[in-house]
Structure 1
Amino acid sequence: MSGQKGKAARKAGNSGRKPETVQDERLQAIILTDSFETRFMPLTAVKPRCLLPLANVPLIEYTLEFLAKAGASEVYLMCASHADQISDYIESSKWNMPWSPFRVSTIMSLESRSVGDAMRDLDNRGIITGDFILVSGDLVTNMEFDKALDFHRKKKAEDKDHIVTMCLSKASQFFRTRCHEPAAFILDKSNDKCLYYQDIPPDNSKHKTSLAIDPELLDGVDAFKLRNDLIDCHVDICSPLVPAIFQENFDYQFLRRDFVKGVLTSDLLKKSIYAFITDEYAARVESWQTYDAISQDFIARWCYPMVLNSNLLDDQTYSYESEHIYKEKDVVLAQSCKIGKRTAIGSGSKIGEGTRIENSIIGRNCRIAENIVIKNSYIWDNTTIGSDSVIEHSLVASGVKIGSKVVLNDGCVIGFNVIIDDHMEIPIGTRLSETCVEKQASQFLDSEPYSDDEASESATPLSDAEPALELVGDHGVGYVYDSDDAEDEDNSSVLDRVTNALTYRFDDMYLSDSSISSVGAKHKKKRRMSTNSAYTDREDDYDDDVDYDEEEDFAVEAVATVERAMENNHDLDTALLELNTLRMSINVTYHEVRSATVVALLRRVYHFIETRTLGPKDAVQKVFAQWGQLFKRQAFDQEEFLDLGNLLLEKTVAQGFEKPEFILFSALTCLYDNDILDEDIVYTWWDQVSQDSSYDQAKTLIAKWIDWLKTADEESSSGEDSEESDSE
C-alpha cells in the first residue's frame, strides 16, 4: 500500500527535496453483496441474500463485524440485485453512525452479472488506493485477520509478483460447512504459494475427473502438497492489480475458476497467489445446505466470541442458557411447552401449551400455537403457526401464516407471506412463494453468470400460472417454485440439484455413504448393496449370497483401527475416515461400525482398570469423553441411537467387568453430558430395556439415574412455573 500522495509530493518539490514515498495506511474492503446465483430462490426474488437472517441476524452483519475487527477503515458494498434495499439498510444501521469503526459506502453496480463485472466496474471507478480485502456478503467467521494480513505483507516483501492471498480454513472430510463447490489446491510445501487450482465435481455427479497439471508449473518446486480439505470462504487480500487484470480479461467471470486458475496458468501475467490456511471458523452461506450447517454451528458457539448473546444488533437482548438455548426479552412461554437444546427465540414471540421446539431458531413476534412440534427448522419474524402442526427440518420465511394440523416435511422452504390452510401436508423439498417466480434461472448458471435481480423481475404472477391450491388449500396463497435444473445435465446443474436443499445430507456429496438404518443388534441379515443405497433391515431383506465372514473381518479390523487411533492419539477425523473407508470397502452397515467402536472403547477402559492405571470412573471418563464423539458420525436418527444404547449394555456385560453396572452407568452419563445422547433418547431406550429381564444386574444403577433425571426435570419445570408466576 505505497504511493505518493499529491500534497506530500508538491511540498517535497517546492522545498527542493526529492519526493518521499508515503505509505497509505488505509485498509479498504470490498463486499460483493450479490452472489450472482439463484440458489436461494424464491426468497431472493424478494430480498437480497445478504439481508436474509441467519440466527435472526442479517447475513451482512456478520461480514461487517468481521471487517470491523479486521481494522478496515473504508468499506464499499458493490450492490447489484435489490441494491435499493441494501442501501436503505446500511443508511439506517449502526455502520452509518459517526462512531462507526469505518466509513461505509454503497456502490450501485446494477449492470453487474458476475464477480468479473463487479471487479471491472470497481476498476473503472478508481477508488482502490492500495491493497484491499475482497469478501462476500455472506461470510460467518471468527478469524483473526491480523495473522492473514501479516502473512500477506511478508509474502509481498519476499515476492514482488505477489498479488493475492486467499484465506482458506481447514476442514475434515466430515465438516458440515465444507464448501458447496469443492476444489483442489496444489500448494508449494515450503511457502504455501498456490501452483494450481481446479474445481472438483461432486462424488455423485456423472462427471469424474483427475487433476491434469502442466509440468512447467512445477518447475523449481522441491515439494508440493495437494489439498482438497479446505473451506474457501472467499476472503482475499488483493493488490490494486487485481481489478486491472479483470479489466484486461473480459472472459474472467468467476473469482476462482477464471481469475485464479487463469493467473496461475498464464505465461504472460507471471503473478503469484498464496494461501493463508487457518484453523479458525470460516464459512460462507452459499447454499441451503450451508445455511443449515452454519446456523447450527453458530447456535452451538463454534464461532466464539461471535455468538448470539453478544447481540450484534443494537436492539437485540439475547441471554444464554444451558444446552445452547437463547431467549430475548418479552418471550412468552406456556407452562407445558418444552424448549429443547440448540434453540433461539426472538422477542415478542409466544409459544403455546404442549408445543415442543428443538434445534430450531424462532424469529421475533411469532405466534406458535398449542401442541406444535418444530425440529431442526428456521422460523423467521412475524410468522403464525396453528395448533397441532408439525414442522420438520424446514424454513419458514417472514409473514407466513400456517393453519392448524399442517405438516411441513423435510426440506420445505416457505417463502415470504405464503398462507397455508388447515389440514395441509407439504411434500419433501417443496419451495413455495407468494407470487409466481418464472423458472428461468438454470439456463444461466453454467453458461453465463446470473443474478437474482433478473429473477426478481419475473417474480410477479404470470397469466398462465396457477396457484398451488392442492398444497396451500382453497383459501391459501402460494405458488410452487421448481427450478428447471433437473432438465439440465451439465456439471453445475447436477451440483446444485444434489446439494442445494435442506434435505441434503452431507455424507452424500463427499463420501457416497448415506446412513443405512440397521437398528437392532438381533437383525444380522444384510443385503449386498451399493454404498449409495439406503434401506431398513427387515426379515425379508435376506440375501443368501452374503458372505458373513466379511462382517467378522470388518469387526476385527474396525476394532483394531479404533484401538490404534486411541493408542497413538490420532485426531477424530482421521479415525472416522479410516473407519468409513473400511466400512465402504466391505460394505457393512453402521450397526457394525457402532458395535466395533463400542467394543474398542470398552476394551480400553478394561485395560486402564486392569493395569491399575486409572480407577473405573476416571477410565470411563477419559475414554468416552474424547472418543465417544465418534458416535456422532455413526448414528443419525433415534433408532440408531437406541441401537447404540443396546450395544453398550450388551458389550459391557460381555467384556467381563467386575462391576458392569457402574461401567454402563458411567458410559451413558458421559455420553449424555457430552450431548451425544439426549434425554428423550435415554428415556425411550430405558422404556424398551427396563422390562427385559436380561442383564438385570447391569441395569441397577441406570434405573436410579433415570429416576433422578425425571425428578430433576419435574423440579426444573416447577421452578420455571414459579418464576413465571412471580413475574406475572
Structure 2
Amino acid sequence: MAGKKSKSSDKSGNNKQKNEVVQDERLQAIVLTDSFETRFMPLTAVKPRCLLPLANVPLIEYTLEFLAKAGASEVYLMCASHADQINDYIEKSKWNMPWSPFRVSTIMSLESRSVGDAMRDLDNRGIITGDFILVSGDLVTNMEFDKALDFHRMKKSEDKDHIVTMCLSRASQFFRSRCHEPAVFILDKASDKCLYYQDIPLENSKLKNSIAIDPELLEGVDDFKIRNDLVDCHVDICSPHVPAIFQENFDYQFLRRDFVKGVLTSDLLKKSIYAFITEDYAARVESWQTYDAISQDFIARWCYPMVLNSNLLDDQTYSYESEHIYKEKDVVLAQSCKIGKCTGIGSGSKIGEGTSIENSVIGRNCHIKENIVIKDSFIWDNTTIGSDSVIEHALVASDVKIGSKVVVQDGCVIGFNVFIDDNMVIPVGTRLSETFVEKRVSQFLDSESYSDDEEVVSNGKSTNALPAVKLVGEAGVGYVYESDDAYDDDDSSVLDDGTNALTHRFDDMYLSDTSISSLSVKPKKKRRSSTSSATTFAGRDEEYYDDDNEDEDEEDFAAEAIATVERAMENNHDIDTALLELNTLRMSINVTYHEVRSATVVALLRRVYHFIATQTLGAKDAIQKVFGQWGPLFKRQAFDEEEYVDLANLILEKAVAQNFEKPEFIVFSALTFLYDEDILDEDAVDAWWNQVTDDPAYDQAKVLTAKWVEWLRTADEQSTSEEESEESDSE
C-alpha cells in the first residue's frame, strides 16, 4: 500500500520530519483455494470446492469477508484445480472493484498437489514480505482476528523463534462442526506454546488411538495440557520462515501432520509454534458432514454478525423472519405450502401447493411443485422437483431435474445436471453425477492427499461407464460415483466411511473430551510401548487389557515397533536410542527377533516409498539414504546365517507387499547396499537364494537379484581358483 505524506503545521519551516513518507505495515493473506482432497466428489470434478454454495453463498465469500474484517491489504489466491473458474469469479466479483478493502490476485499454481507444493511455489515467487495470514478457501468464521494478531505479535516479541500462531476454536463435546479428522494438541499450560501435535483416529476405528511423545519435548515444561476439544479451522498467522521451511523439506505435504509435527520434533529447526484459542465460531467445510453442520449453524445465526440476511453478495435481497426463516424477493409461495424453521429460499423460486419445507436451503430459480416433502436438505439453483416427491437429508446440486414421486433418501448427493425419471428411489448414501467420473491413482500415500481434478470426467466413454438406469430411470441421466473407500478394506478407511457422509452419525464422531486417559488408570497385563516414551492412550479398556492372545500380541508389537522406527527416522534419533526402544518393546511383549526384523524392514521400505512417491528422491538415492542411516539396525537384530537369510526373505516379501512400481530394483538395491556395508555376506546371500520362494508373485522382484547372485557366485569361483593356483605355485 502506498505511503501517506503528513501535512506540515510547523510555521518555522522545519518540515523535514513531517514530510517523511510513513510506510503502512502491509498484512498479506494467502488463501489455499484447492482442498487437495476428493471428499466432495463428484461435485468437485465440475466446480472447485471454494465455489460451491453454502446457504446460497459461494464458500470463498465467507473467507474473503473474514479477511476484509481482519484488515488484510493484499490477498493472494493460490489456485490449482479449476483455476480458470476461480479467476473468472474473482474478476467479476466485488473484490476486484476499486473500492475493495484489499488488493486481490490469483496465482496459478497448477502443478501443486498438496499444501506443501503450494507453499514451495509461494516461496519461489518471493511475494511474501512479512508475517501473513494462511487460510483455506472453505473457512466460515466470525472470529475477532485483532485479538489473534495481538497475541501473535506479543509471542513474537517474547520468543525470537516463534514462527506460527495457530488459531483454534474451543468446542463443546457435541459441537457438530468439530474437525473431520480429530487431533490432539499438547500445549504448555502457562504460555499456550504447542509442544506436540498428533492426529488421532475416531473412537470406533480399528486403529489404536495412542499418543507417543518424546520426553525431551517436555523438558523445562512445568505443566502441560492435552486438548482434543479444539476445532482446527486452519487459520494461521505465519512468519516468512514458513514457506522457506517447506522449501527445505520436500517431504512436507500436509500443514499439520507434516509441517507442524515436523517443526515441533525437529532437533535442527528449533522453531516454536503457539496456539491462540478463541471462543468465536470458526470451522472449515472439509467434509459432507461439516457442510451439513455449518449450513445449519449459519442459518441458526451461530456466526452472527455474519448471517444470511447480511446479504454477502451484492445482488442478494434476503430478509429475516421468525424461526430463522429467510426469503429473497420474488419468491412465490402457494397458499397451502408450509415453510418450517431454519429455512432459506432464493429469489425466483416457486413452491407449490401442499409442499412442506423445513431445515433446508432452496437456491434461486428452483421450481418445487405440489405435495413435496423437503427436510434437512440442500437444493441448489435452477433445480426442478416433480410433485409428490420426498427429499430427506440430501444434497441436490444445480440444474438437476427430479421427476414426480421420486424418493431421495438420507445422505444422497445428486450432482450437477442429473435427471431422475418419475417413480424412482435413490438409496441411502448414493452419489450421482451427470457423466462418468474416472479415478486416477494419487501420487501420495494418503488417498485424500491430491487435487480434486485428479479425478476426471470421461463423458461415459470408459468401458466401465454404465448409466445408472435402475436408479435414474430409462429416460434419466446419471452415473453412480463410488469413492475409493468402497474398495478399500484398510482400517484407515474407517475414518472417511464414518465421517465423510452427509448423514450425522454421532456414534462415529469423536465426541468424548475425556477419552484421553492416563496410563495409570488401570494396570495392564502387558506393556504396549517403550519405556523411553511418555505415552497416553485413548479408547476402550478392552483394546489394551485383552487376554494373552499371541496373534494379537504380535499385531500389537508390529504396529508399535513400526511406529517406533518411523518416529526415530522422523525425529532423527540415533541408532542406539532406536535399538533400546525396540529391544525394550520386544522383551515387554515377548516376541522373537523375527518380528523385530519384520517391523524394521516395513518401516524402512515405507520411508523409501514415501521419498519415491513424493518425487523427493529417486529409488537408488532413497535406498542409500534410508538404508545407509538405518541399515545398521539389522546388525543388532540378526546374529547368524539363518537370521540373515530371514532378513533377505523379509526384504523380498515386504517390497512386493509395498507395491513399488519396480520392486525388482528395490530388492536388488537394498540387498546390494547391505552387502556393500558388510551387513550381509556371500554365504548368507547364497544360502538365501538356494531356498528362495518359487511363488510366481515374486518372479519380477527377483529378476535383477538373480543376475547379481550369479555374478557373486562366478566371482567367488574365480577367487577360489586363483587362491588354489597361488597355493600350487608357492608349493
The interval holding the TM-score normalised by the smaller chain is 0.5 to 0.7
| Shift in alpha-carbon separation, 1:247–1:444, aligned structure 2, 3 A | closer
| Shift in alpha-carbon separation, 1:47–1:336, aligned structure 2, 3 A | same
CA deviation string 1:318-369 (max 9, x = no partner): 0000000000000000000000000000000000000000000000000000
**Secondary structure class of the residue paired with 2:184:** strand
Assess if the C-alpha contact under 8 Å between 1:385 and 1:401 holds in 2: yes
Assess if the C-alpha contact under 8 Å between 1:442 and 1:483 holds in 2: no
**Cα distance in 2 between the residues matched to 1:453 and 1:440:** 9
**Cα distance in 2 between the residues matched to 1:153 and 1:39:** 36
Larger radius of gyration: 2
Q: Which residue of 2 aligns with 1:124?
A: 124
Q: Which residue of 2 aligns with 1:685?
A: none
Matched, 1:232 2:199: no
Q: TM-score, normalised by structure 1?
A: 0.67
1:678-693 superposed matches below 5 A? none
Aligned length: 497
Identity of aligned residues (%): 87
- How far is 1:483 from its partner? 1.1
In structure 2, give the amino acid aligned to 1:321.
E
Assess if the C-alpha contact under 8 Å between 1:332 and 1:349 holds in 2: yes
Matched, 1:341 2:341: yes
Over aligned residue pairs, what C-alpha RMSD do you find? 2.0
Q: Which residue of 2 aligns with 1:79?
A: 79
Assess if the C-alpha contact under 8 Å between 2:38 and 2:448 holds in 1: no
Assess if the C-alpha contact under 8 Å between 2:203 and 2:209 holds in 1: no
Assess if the C-alpha contact under 8 Å between 1:343 and 1:357 holds in 2: yes
1:301-316 superposed matches below 5 A? 301-316=301-316
- How far is 1:490 from its partner? 3.8
| Shift in alpha-carbon separation, 1:432–1:270, aligned structure 2, 3 A | same
Q: TM-score, normalised by structure 2?
A: 0.66
Assess if the C-alpha contact under 8 Å between 2:28 and 2:131 holds in 1: yes
Assess if the C-alpha contact under 8 Å between 2:37 and 2:449 holds in 1: yes
Matched, 1:143 2:143: yes
Q: Which residue of 1 aligns with 2:262?
A: 262
CA deviation string 1:652-671 (max 9, x = no partner): xxxxxxxxxxxxxxxxxxxx
**Cα distance in 2 between the residues matched to 1:177 and 1:82:** 27
1:653-668 superposed matches below 5 A? none
**Secondary structure class of the residue paired with 1:105:** strand
**Cα distance in 2 between the residues matched to 1:447 and 1:348:** 41
Q: Which residue of 2 aligns with 1:377?
A: 377
CA deviation string 1:2-36 (max 9, x = no partner): xxxxxxxxxxxxxxx9xx99976000000000000
- How far is 1:503 from its partner? 2.1
| Shift in alpha-carbon separation, 1:447–1:481, aligned structure 2, 3 A | closer
| Shift in alpha-carbon separation, 1:82–1:154, aligned structure 2, 3 A | same
| Shift in alpha-carbon separation, 1:442–1:390, aligned structure 2, 3 A | farther
**Cα distance in 2 between the residues matched to 1:492 and 1:99:** 48
Q: Which residue of 2 aligns with 1:35?
A: 35
Q: Which runs of 5+ in 1 are unaligned?
A: 2-16, 514-580, 582-728
Matched, 1:213 2:221: no
**Secondary structure class of the residue paired with 2:187:** strand
In structure 2, give the amino acid aligned to 1:278.
T
In structure 2, give the amino acid aligned to 1:320.
Y
CA deviation string 1:489-516 (max 9, x = no partner): 4454221111101124233222599xxx
Q: Which residue of 2 aligns with 1:45?
A: 45
**Secondary structure class of the residue paired with 2:40:** coil
1:151-300 superposed matches below 5 A? 151-300=151-300
CA deviation string 1:576-603 (max 9, x = no partner): xxxxx9xxxxxxxxxxxxxxxxxxxxxx
**Cα distance in 2 between the residues matched to 1:376 and 1:123:** 44
Q: Which residue of 2 aligns with 1:417?
A: 417
**Secondary structure class of the residue paired with 2:437:** coil
Q: Which runs of 5+ in 2 are unaligned?
A: 2-16, 514-539, 541-731
CA deviation string 1:592-651 (max 9, x = no partner): xxxxxxxxxxxxxxxxxxxxxxxxxxxxxxxxxxxxxxxxxxxxxxxxxxxxxxxxxxxx
- How far is 1:459 from its partner? 6.2
| Shift in alpha-carbon separation, 1:37–1:448, aligned structure 2, 3 A | closer
In structure 2, give the amino acid aligned to 1:102.
F
**Cα distance in 1 between the residues matched to 2:84 and 2:195:** 40
**Cα distance in 2 between the residues matched to 1:254 and 1:465:** 33
- How far is 1:208 from its partner? 1.2
1:381-396 superposed matches below 5 A? 381-396=381-396
1:565-580 superposed matches below 5 A? none
**Cα distance in 2 between the residues matched to 1:76 and 1:430:** 37
| Shift in alpha-carbon separation, 1:457–1:315, aligned structure 2, 3 A | same
| Shift in alpha-carbon separation, 1:182–1:448, aligned structure 2, 3 A | closer
- How far is 1:211 from its partner? 1.1
**Secondary structure class of the residue paired with 1:508:** coil
1:440-451 superposed matches below 5 A? 440=440, 446=446, 449-451=449-451
CA deviation string 1:705-727 (max 9, x = no partner): xxxxxxxxxxxxxxxxxxxxxxx
